[in-house]
Amino acid sequence: QIICQGCSYHRYPLKYRKDRPERVCDQCYASLGKRGRAVTSDSAVRAVSLAAWTDKTVVLGRSPPSQSRSPGGALSSVLHSITPSPGRKLKRVPAALKQVAGTEGSSMSGYLQRSKDNRKPWRRLWFVVKDKVLYTYAASEDVVAMESQPLLGFTVQGPTARDCSFQLFHKTTLFRAFRAEDSATALRWAEAIKAATVL
């Protein structure tokens, strides 16, 4: 068992480490010391080549004085294999966004272009109106919604025949602008959203 300096100052040449002196616990040192090969002084340890220290310095977190660490050591490779790689934490998805983007149970679904206001660029997204909530998806096959917006209290203006667009307002503030492929589709969307804005 290789341990840190704070736990023990005893060293012993271990066969499985090619007789390199390694720190061992007091109990193991007493047992191994009966064989007469114990190395206790730091000066004796310094005599060991720097290459012999490479693997241990990975465990202890210290670099050898004038040599960089070598990742090729046996102990080093074992430690790297058991160390978990720092990955991204799993993002918790709110239950309100876990709606399937399909048409089942929805009053309206389909692709629209959306802008945060009329000056911002338009983005094509998949929308579903279900249970008086407007769900926004990146694509129709998505399972988790990007956004969910309850529609109660909103008002709809439009569509205009000129550009097939309509706007969603909260009180007097423009919340979102939408644009459909044609005026008939825009009218159907506006009606579906209007119906969802009232009880």
Whole-prediction pTM = 0.51
Residues of 97-117 as b/e, b for ≥16 C-beta within 10 angstroms?
eebbbeeeebebbbebbbbee
Contact 177, 167 (CB under 8 A): yes
Q: Which residue has the tokens 């025949």?
A: 161
What's the mean pLDDT in 69-84?
48
| pLDDT for residue 196 is more than 90 | yes
Which pLDDT does position 63 carry in this prediction? Answer: 45
Q: Is the N-terminal amide bond of 159 cis, ω within 30° of 0?
A: yes
| Averaged pLDDT for residues 63-88 | 48
Sign of CA dihedral 39, 41, 44, 48: positive
- Largest pairwise CA distance in the chain: 98
Residues in contact with 78: Cβ distance below 8 Å, sequence separation at least 6, in sequence order: none
What domains, with CATH codes, occur in the chain?
11-70 (no CATH), 95-196 (2.30.29.30)
The pLDDT of residue 59 is above 80: no
Instruction: Name the H helices within 38-133.
Output: 42-46, 50-60, 74-82
Q: What distance in Å separates the CA atoms of residue 109 and residue 82, rounded to the nearest whole number?
A: 48
How confident is the model over 107-118, as pLDDT tens digits? 899 999 999 876
Query: CA–CA separation, 51 vs 60, rounded Å?
Result: 15
**pLDDT range class, residue 61, cuts 50, 70, 90:** very low
